[in-house]
């Protein structure tokens, strides 16, 4: 005897081997068509039959089920609940064969739109309204499948469907995986073996791998676009009121930056004193005078946390109109928060002379490194006949900067660290600064990457005085019990360097206090600290009563955490795009390029000429700074990788340590 039953939603037939019990308690040991031994109870069996043979019945029933008219079957079925045999007589007639009955079982089981299951082998037809709704849904599904197939064919052929072009960015960067478009894209990728980004680049839906890397970042961190709203800016009445009360400083300040700097945050001044010493002024742009906590501009800055830098462009923290108003551009007095310290004739700073004032600072000049760096040397600073601007002031700043550096090194050594070398580093050392120049010639982009060694006199002057300013700011906040965002470094481990709201040492820099404050136009941490310092400059010992952030302010702690996260993310994006342009540099003149690399650690090496880090397992066992010649091929600008073959391994090169902040910049 053969038994018809359902398992896992499928209709199956088994052949009885033995039986036990009777009536409703009857059960059978049977063998399915696949050879599986099973046990079936009477309530599980839809139909019993002796002949035809089980496999023949299933083969014929499967073929017949495809021709069953479900609408006719629904019309034939009674209103009330029915069984398989009952409806087979209505549809096929009184002489319905076993294969016909089984075919109806397959059809009923596979038509939930037409029939509801009421039990094993029992059904009831769906109400007319539900049937009509279900059929409409099936029709929509069929049309979606047809559309998906059409889009898939277009994508495979290299054509991006016209109707999807407006949603291409969303489809790649933040897709709804339930949509027909996404399913078509993924089906096409499966067929071609490409990633979605590769396929969309081939179909010209996105311009290039660069557009992919940029789009991923913008979608994650600037979903509404990177442009600032034109409606957000400085309230001019508030600005006028803020600067009206500021005194005019009796200095001639100048800044030192590279030619690409548009956010000039800091400047220096040197004023001669009667005793032969000098008063050094560090002047910081003061947007905090016109931007208030929680106002619209603050909300913009807090949402961004920092300017995002990357080769060829940047995304500014503040709108251009605000930057233009507060940047320390030459030609007119600019609002600034100034810190003054007196130095003696030998260049030693007297910390007890520290003063801080909010004032209007006359900006006499914006010096550019490209114009004068090659002119500034120990000899020229002492040469009265040297013809470059601010020679005398630079000589005084350099003399004092050497003392500041030496004092920091004493503390570094006391902290168990090695002293850092001052000045130009060994010419064999890997360059750490690079200028990326991206040119577009006839629609083809080329990149030139120019290395720049750190350690020049101008580098050191700017670095040491900005470090001093950050240190002095941290000291002022700590001495007056004001919270701020302190940059600390202590001990070892993943949290060695961090941002916190209470004072702490920075062992790497050799400082007791360190609070970023020299870049308020491009770092939110500096703007927050500037608000606290402005309160101190205006109100002295009562500053804690009026400062935007009182001690143990939970909001300030949240800002510290958010800033750390954003700053790290932006740095990773900058590294990613630098790697992209480095690989473009490798491949732009041919399919392969011979270059020299230096092994750093654990098989990771860096090209000498550009800041490109690549894994080279063959060098893993060699000492740090081992030099090797390699050939780079098969550059993949999407995966940011390249094939590397080592041609020759050379000797290790000894390189001394150099002075730098833990993030690579003093400011």
Q: Are 563 and 591 part of one and the same domain?
A: no
Percentage of the chain beyond pLDDT 90 is 58
Structure-block tokens of residue 281: 């002024």
Q: Are 482 and 389 part of one and the same domain?
A: yes
Lowest mean pLDDT among 302-311, 425-434, 612-621: 425-434
User: Taking the CA atoms of the chain, what radius of gyration do you get in angstroms?
Assistant: 38
Q: Are 486 and 605 part of one and the same domain?
A: no
Q: Are 347 and 457 part of one and the same domain?
A: yes
Q: In this model, does residue 514 exceed pLDDT 80?
A: yes
Which range of 516-530, 537-551, 609-623, 644-658 scores highest in mean pLDDT? It is 516-530
Q: In this model, does residue 492 exceed pLDDT 60?
A: yes
Helices (H), 158-256: 168-173, 180-192, 196-202, 209-221, 236-244
> What is the number of other CB atoms lying within 10 angstroms of the CB of residue 500?
17
User: Three-state DSSP class for 336?
Assistant: strand
Give the chain's mean pLDDT: 90
Structure-block tokens of residue 388: 């470059």
Q: In this model, does residue 442 exceed pLDDT 80?
A: no
First to last CA, the chain: 90
Q: Are 533 and 430 part of one and the same domain?
A: yes
The last residue of one of the domains, among 206, 222, 249, is 206
Q: Are 607 and 622 part of one and the same domain?
A: yes
User: What's the average model confidence in pLDDT over 226-231?
Assistant: 90
Residue 27, phi then psi, degrees to nearest 5:
-145, 160
pLDDT digits (tens, 9 = 90+) for 465-474: 999 999 999 9
Cα torsion 239, 244, 249, 253: sign: positive
153 occurs within a structural domain: yes
661 occurs within a structural domain: no
- pLDDT of 408: 93
Q: Are 450 and 348 part of one and the same domain?
A: yes
pLDDT confidence of 495, banded at 50, 70, 90?
Answer: low
- Between CA 357 and CA 225 the distance in angstroms is 38
522 occurs within a structural domain: yes
Q: Are 183 and 283 part of one and the same domain?
A: no
User: What's the average model confidence in pLDDT over 333-347?
Assistant: 95
Q: Are 398 and 449 part of one and the same domain?
A: yes
- pLDDT of 22: 84
The last residue of one of the domains, among 126, 141, 158, is 126
Q: In this model, does residue 278 exceed pLDDT 60?
A: yes
- pLDDT of 304: 95
Percentage of the chain beyond pLDDT 70 is 96
Strand-pair partners of 248: 360
Structure-block tokens of residue 617: 């397992």
Output the pTM of the full model.
0.80
pLDDT digits (tens, 9 = 90+) for 117-172: 888 888 899 988 998 898 888 888 889 899 999 999 999 999 999 888 888 888 99
The number of CA neighbours under 13 Å toward the Cβ of 588 is 15
User: What's the average model confidence in pLDDT over 303-330?
Assistant: 94
Q: Are 329 and 441 part of one and the same domain?
A: yes
Q: Are 373 and 488 part of one and the same domain?
A: yes
pLDDT confidence of 665, banded at 50, 70, 90?
Answer: very low
User: What's the average model confidence in pLDDT over 277-288?
Assistant: 96
- pLDDT of 654: 63
217 occurs within a structural domain: no
422 occurs within a structural domain: yes
The last residue of one of the domains, among 547, 569, 591, is 569
Q: In this model, does residue 663 exceed pLDDT 80?
A: no
- pLDDT of 433: 82
User: What's the average model confidence in pLDDT over 489-498?
Assistant: 76
340 occurs within a structural domain: yes
How many domains does the chain contain in total?
4
596 occurs within a structural domain: yes
Distance set, CA 134 to CA 221, 259, 358 (Å)? 42, 68, 73
Q: Are 533 and 556 part of one and the same domain?
A: yes
Could you list the residue range(s) of the whole structural domain that residue 108 is in?
2-126
pLDDT confidence of 321, banded at 50, 70, 90?
Answer: very high
pLDDT digits (tens, 9 = 90+) for 571-621: 999 999 999 999 999 988 888 899 999 999 888 999 999 999 999 999 988
């Amino acid at each position: 005897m053969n038994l018809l039953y359902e398992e896992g939603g499928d209709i199956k037939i088994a052949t009885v081997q033995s039986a036990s019990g009777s009536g409703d308690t009857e059960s059978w040991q049977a063998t399915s068509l696949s050879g599986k031994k099973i046990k079936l109870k009477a309530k599980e069996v839809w139909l019993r039959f002796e002949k035809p043979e089980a496999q023949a019945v299933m083969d014929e029933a499967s073929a017949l089920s495809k021709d069953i008219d479900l609408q006719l079957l629904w019309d034939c079925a009674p209103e009330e609940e029915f069984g398989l045999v009952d409806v087979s007589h209505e549809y096929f007639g009184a002489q319905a064969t076993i294969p016909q009955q089984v075919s109806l079982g397959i059809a009923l089981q596979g038509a939930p739109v037409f029939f509801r299951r009421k039990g094993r082998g029992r059904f009831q037809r769906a109400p007319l309204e539900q049937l009509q709704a279900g059929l409409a849904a099936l029709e929509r599904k069929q049309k979606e499948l047809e559309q998906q197939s059409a889009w898939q064919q277009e994508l495979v052929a290299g054509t991006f469907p016209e109707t999807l072009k407006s949603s291409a960015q969303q489809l790649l960067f933040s897709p709804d995986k339930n949509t027909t478009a996404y399913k078509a894209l993924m089906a096409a990728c499966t067929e071609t073996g490409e990633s979605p980004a590769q396929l969309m680049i081939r179909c010209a839906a996105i311009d290039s791998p660069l557009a992919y890397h940029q789009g991923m970042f913008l979608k994650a961190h600037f979903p509404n676009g990177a442009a600032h709203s034109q409606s957000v800016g400085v309230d001019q009445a508030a600005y006028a009121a803020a600067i009206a009360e500021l005194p005019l400083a009796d200095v001639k300040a100048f800044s030192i930056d590279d030619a690409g700097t548009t956010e000039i945050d800091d400047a220096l001044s040197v004023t001669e004193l009667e005793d032969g010493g000098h008063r050094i002024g560090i002047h910081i742009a003061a947007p905090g005078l016109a931007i208030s906590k929680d106002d619209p501009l603050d909300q913009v800055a807090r949402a961004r946390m920092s300017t995002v830098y990357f080769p060829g462009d940047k995304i500014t923290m503040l709108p251009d109109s605000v930057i233009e108003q507060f940047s320390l551009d030459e030609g007119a007095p600019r609002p600034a928060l100034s810190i003054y310290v007196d130095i003696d004739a030998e260049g030693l700073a007297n910390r007890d002379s520290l003063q801080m004032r909010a004032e209007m600072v006359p900006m006499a000049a914006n010096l550019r490194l490209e114009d004068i760096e090659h002119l500034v040397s120990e000899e020229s600073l002492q040469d009265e006949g040297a013809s470059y601007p601010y020679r005398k002031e630079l000589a005084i700043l350099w003399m004092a900067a050497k003392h500041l550096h030496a004092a920091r090194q004493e503390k570094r050594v006391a902290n168990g660290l090695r002293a850092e070398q001052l000045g130009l580093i060994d010419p064999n050392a890997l360059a750490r600064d690079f200028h990326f120049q991206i040119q577009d010639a006839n629609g083809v982009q080329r990149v030139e990457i120019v290395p720049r060694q750190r350690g020049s006199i101008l580098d050191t002057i700017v670095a040491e005085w900005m470090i001093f300013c950050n240190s002095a700011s941290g000291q002022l906040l700590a001495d007056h019990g004001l919270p701020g965002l302190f940059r600390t470094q202590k001990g070892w481990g993943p949290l060695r360097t961090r941002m916190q709201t209470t004072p702490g040492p920075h062992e790497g820099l050799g400082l007791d206090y360190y609070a970023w404050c020299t870049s308020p136009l491009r770092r939110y941490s500096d703007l927050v600290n500037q608000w606290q310092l402005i309160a101190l400059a205006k109100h002295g010992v009562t500053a804690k009563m009026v400062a935007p952030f009182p001690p143990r302010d939970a909001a300030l702690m949240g800002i510290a955490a958010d800033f750390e996260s954003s700053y790290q993310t932006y740095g990773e994006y900058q590294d990613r795009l630098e790697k992209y342009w480095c690989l473009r540099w490798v491949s732009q003149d041919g399919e392969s390029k011979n270059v020299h690399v230096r092994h750093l650690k654990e098989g990771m090496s860096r090209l000498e000429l550009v800041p490109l880090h690549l894994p080279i397992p063959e060098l893993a066992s060699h000492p740090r700074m081992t030099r090797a010649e390699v050939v780079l091929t098969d550059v993949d600008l999407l995966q940011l990788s390249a094939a590397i073959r080592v041609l020759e391994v050379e000797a290790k090169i000894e390189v001394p340590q150099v002075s730098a902040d833990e993030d690579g910049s003093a400011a």
